[in-house]
Structures are given as structure tokens and as C-alpha cells.
Amino acid sequence: MNPVKALEQHGQAVWLDFLARGFVAKGDLKRLIDEDGVKGVTSNPAIFEKAIGSSDEYDAPIAKALKGGDRSPTQLFEAVAVEDIQNAADVLRPVYDSFNGNDGFVSLEVSPYLAMDAKGTIAEAEQLWKAVDRRNLMIKVPATEACLPAIQHLISRGISVNITLLFAQEVYRQVAEAYLAGLEAYVADGGDPSHVASVASFFVSRIDSVVDKQLDEKIAQANDPTEKERLTALKGKIAIANAKMAYQDYKRLFSGARWERLAAKGAKLSNTGDEFKSTKDRDAVPTAGITRNQAWSEGSAKNTAFDTHADATASHTLPQMGAQNTGAPKDGVADKQPSAQKKASASDKTGKAQAKQ
């Protein structure tokens, strides 16, 4: 079986972090959905910048938009982005329907310049939600302290949210609380929560990129072979340990009387998601991110794979995207909080020791 499609058997969904007009129009997205089991698409301003700047396929849409009068760069961007998102959402709608609204989403991000502006984030998110007008849309909002109230507000208005820039366990707990409180407010106002969805997207590979660099510095300084071995064993492990501990919070927060009251009304669980970049560590297993994610999440997780359109469509199996499954997906399921806590604590102690030197 296609190794990416095989992830479905373990409750994993691959979302593609790429979007361009021709990618949808020429059928490449549909092919990845049909052949590789891609379940969603995410986007951000940088992705659109690359798509618009690297081809001429946006020249005609931009010229058409300008016929209606002068527009600011932001207005032009929104005009073409909204259309691309609508087209992608339409291609993904069968996935959304077949999974009862638990998958098949496309994400559109609010301006990064609003990351510290809750009111601005709310206004732009509501505007984009209305403009796109697709049920399988998620508005991407950063998990900054300033935007936590925005996340709660948007959920309370029935707007599905993809929470991004999520690194810390404590912030995840705040994000989950915002989702729950938003759902409670929405239900109290008579809303039907069954069509409201959320993904809390942990940035996994970026944590290891930072921590592994610090570990490399400590390894180079260590004279004791045992200490070198201990530090080396931590490389590539801290981000997943962090995510595993957050998953314990997930299981606790989405259980019990509070959650059961919402679930009885049709509320959906806020899925955990993980954003992986292709590994550049020559000593790492290229597919370690996805395989380890299967282990900590026990299913129902979204794996966001990053790469280029060319890499994504070269063989139609996403092999360049770190989205293959080369090991037993549940090898690490037993490695839950105790071991994860041990790894995280070891890294924390190492960092504190370094700070004292």
C-alpha cells in the first residue's frame, strides 16, 4: 500500500502546507487526495507570496481585480487568496463530507502583523470567513497571548480555527480552554457546535532544531564519554516528549462532565496537529517525525507536511515530505508521560547546567 495512505489506518491525516492556483486547477491536489490520502491543506502569506511571485498564473486575476478600481496590495492579495482557498475547499469538500466534518479543511491565515492585536485578528478573521464562505474553511490564528481571546471569540461565533505557532504545554492548555469556553458560549447562544472544528498545531521540528543545536554545543564541550552519550540520546527527542506531555492534557481536558455536556450537543474534539519540516539532520531517520507522532498521539492527529509543489507531485506519494511510514506506528505508544517527562526533564537540567557555566 502507498506508505502515506497507510497512515489512515492509524488515525493519522496528512495535510499539505502548500497552495497555488495551478496546483488546484490542473488537478494535482485532487490526485494527492485520491492517490496519497491527503486530507487537508494549509496556507500562509509566505506560501502565497511564493506562488504569486514564481509564476504568471496570477497576472490575469490581478488585472481583473484592478479593473474595478485601484486596490491596495492587501486588497489584491485577499482577492486572489480567497479565490484560491475557495477552489481548494471545493476540491476537499468530498473529504469533509465523508469524514463528517472531521477532515477535509483548508486553512487561511490572518495577517501576521495582527499577532499582537486581538481586535484586529477578530475583524480580519470574520471578514475572511464571510468572504470565503465555505464550511470546510479554518482560519489560522497564532497562539500568542494577545490572540487567545480572539480564538475564544471566533469559536463562540461558529468559526473554525487552526491555532498555529504553538510550542509550549502551558499555552496548549490555554488554547484548549479558549476552545471549550468558545463552544460553551456558542451553544448558550443557540448555535450548533457540530460544524465547528479546531486544530491545535504544535510546531514539532522547530523545537528540535533549536534544542539539538544547543545539545551539539554541549556534546562538543563534554569530555566524559558517558555524558556525550547521554546528550546524544536526547537529540531529536525533546519535541516529541513535549508533545506527548501535552497530549496528556488533551486527554484530561476533553473528558469529564464539562466535555460530555458539549459532546452531547454535537461538539467535536479539538484535534492535535503537528507541523514537520523535512529533516536536514543526516543522522536522523527521514520519516521520524510522522512515525513518532503516530506513537504519541494514538491516532486522530493531523500531520502537516512541508515542501514544494514539485516535490509533492513528482511521484504522487509525497516521499520528499517526510510523510512516509517506515516503522511500526505504535512502537512508541507505551512511551507516554513518564518517559516523555524524563526526556524533557533531562533536557531542562542540561539547559540549566549550561546557563550556570
Q: Residues 244-258: what's their mean pLDDT?
A: 92
Look at the chain and report how many structural domains it folds into. Answer: 1
Question: Would residue 234 count as lying in a domain?
Answer: no
> How many other CB atoms are found less than 10 A from the CB of residue 226?
8
Burial degree of 224 (CB within 10 A; 0-12, 13-18, 19+): exposed
- Report whether 45 contacts 53 (CB < 8 A): no
What pLDDT shows up at residue 349?
54
pLDDT tens digit sequence for 171-214: 999 999 999 999 999 999 999 999 999 999 888 778 888 999 99
Q: Residues 291-313: what's their mean pLDDT?
A: 46
Question: Which segment, 94-108, 307-321, 342-356, is predicted with the most confidence on average?
Answer: 94-108
What pLDDT shows up at residue 332?
41
Question: Which segment, 11-25, 38-52, 123-137, is predicted with the most confidence on average?
Answer: 123-137
Alpha-carbon Rg for the chain, nearest whole angstrom, is 21
Q: Residues 143-170: what's their mean pLDDT?
A: 96
The rounded distance, in Å, linking the Cα atoms of 319 and 4 is: 8
What pLDDT shows up at residue 321?
37
Q: Residues 309-337: what's their mean pLDDT?
A: 38
Beta strands 198-203 and 271-276, pairing class: parallel
Say yes or no to pLDDT of 54 above 60.
Answer: yes
What pLDDT shows up at residue 288?
40
Q: Residues 2-11: what's their mean pLDDT?
A: 77
* DSSP-derived 3-state class of residue 153: helix
Question: Would residue 262 count as lying in a domain?
Answer: yes
What pLDDT shows up at residue 90?
98
What pLDDT shows up at residue 308?
39
Could you tell me the three cell numbers for 309?
509543489
What pLDDT shows up at residue 150?
98
What pLDDT shows up at residue 346?
57
Q: Please, what is the average pLDDT of the chain?
A: 82
Residue 271's DSSP bridge partners are 199
Extract long-range pairs of 182-190: CB within 8 Å, 24+ residues apart: 182/151, 182/152, 182/153, 182/154, 182/155, 182/156, 183/155, 183/156, 183/262, 183/267, 184/262, 185/152, 185/155, 185/156, 186/155, 186/156, 186/157, 186/158, 187/262, 187/265, 187/267, 189/156
166 or 331, higher pLDDT: 166
What pLDDT shows up at residue 101?
94
- Report whether 116 contacts 142 (CB < 8 A): no
Per the structure, the complete domain to which residue 270 belongs is given by 5-201+243-332
Question: Would residue 352 count as lying in a domain?
Answer: no
What pLDDT shows up at residue 275?
60
Question: Would residue 275 count as lying in a domain?
Answer: yes
Question: Would residue 154 count as lying in a domain?
Answer: yes
Sign of the alpha-carbon dihedral angle for 134, 150, 112, 203: negative
pLDDT tens digit sequence for 256-290: 999 999 999 999 998 877 665 544 444 444 344 44
CATH of the domain at 263: 3.20.20.70
Question: Would residue 216 count as lying in a domain?
Answer: no
The residues assigned a catalytic role are 140
Question: Would residue 49 count as lying in a domain?
Answer: yes
Say yes or no to pLDDT of 152 above 50.
Answer: yes
Extract long-range pairs of 218-222: CB within 8 Å, 24+ residues apart: 218/350, 218/354
Say yes or no to pLDDT of 298 above 70.
Answer: no
Say yes or no to pLDDT of 155 above 90.
Answer: yes
The rounded distance, in Å, linking the Cα atoms of 215 and 228 is: 10
Output the CA angle 208-211-213, nearest 5 degrees: 105
Amino acid at 313: T
- Report whether 19 contacts 51 (CB < 8 A): yes
Q: Nearest-CA neighbor of 200 among 119, 267, 143, 121?
A: 143
Q: Residues 11-20: what's their mean pLDDT?
A: 88
Question: Would residue 11 count as lying in a domain?
Answer: yes
- Report whether 88 contacts 18 (CB < 8 A): no
What pLDDT shows up at residue 324?
29
Output the CA angle 120-128-50, nearest 5 degrees: 95
